[in-house]
Amino acid sequence: MGTDPHATGPEPQRSAPAPAGTVYGRGGAPTSDRDFGLLERLHPAVTAGIAAAVIGVFTLGYLAWRAVSGTESPAGEPPAAAAPRTVEEPARSPSPSPSPTGARLSAGAWSLESADRSGSYVRRDDALAVIGTLNAEDDEADRREASFVVLAGLADPSCFSFRAADGRFLRHYDFRLKFDETEDKALFREDATFCAAAGATADSVTLRSHNYPDRVIHHRQSELWLDRPDGSEGFAAASSFVVRSPLTPSG
């Protein structure tokens, strides 16, 4: 056999054409066959299980939120306003009514009736202070001796001094109560000043000495003395006086 003089060597092998439908972009299966979503590629039962789990998580979260924040009002309705709290006030004791017979001591014209001897009043007997029985039928001069002008205390304006109708002041001297002319001395002002405190009865007062605060005006029978309280009910009653309107209007 002769050799082809034009042949330069064995014939090179040719590559086979690329099959249709490869990744090179021509032909092959439709694109829709390659783009399935994750849920579309799963079994329907698995898909349903995942959906149920998601719903359950949201449900549990909602229930937890309600437990923390409280019951939700129905849709479209504003939350109900909280009912106002009712605060019960403590029971108050009724205020005591003013005494129909006695009054608190204050500046003005007054008479002082013994708390334990009804009808007996502090009065002047010459220079001494005593208690004696008086009533509306007694002579005006006698009733005037039991009427006093009560002033702010000569030694302490928070206390009281008592001026008789003749201008003399009630004072203590050697612890006996008497009436003396005014003296411009500190001792006189102290002796003539008495501080009021609650008496043995609701409508009475006790008169304590300003310069002997451990002593009070106390009657021994009809005499008036400055004595130390002994703690007995009898002493407390004998050193208490009911404030009355003056037995004579002018004091």
- Give pLDDT, residue 136: 75
Domain assignments of the chain as residue spans, ordered by start:
31-69, 108-244
Domain spanning 108-244, CATH class: mainly beta
CB within 8 Å of 132: residues ≥ 6 apart: 120, 121, 123, 125, 146, 222
More confident residue, 231 or 11: 231
In one-letter notation, the amino acid at residue 230 is D
pTM for the predicted model, two decimal places: 0.59
For residue 153, pLDDT beyond 70: yes
Range of 24-33, 69-78, 83-92, 213-222 with top mean pLDDT: 213-222
The DSSP secondary-structure symbol of 81 reads: P
CB within 8 Å of 158: residues ≥ 6 apart: 152, 195
In one-letter notation, the amino acid at residue 221 is Q
* Lowest-pLDDT range of 34-48, 167-181, 227-241: 34-48
Distances in whole angstroms, Cα of residue 187 to Cα of each of 42, 68, 77, 92, 213: 117, 79, 84, 46, 15
Average pLDDT, the chain: 76
For residue 141, pLDDT beyond 70: yes
Rounded Cα distance between 15 and 18, Å, is 9
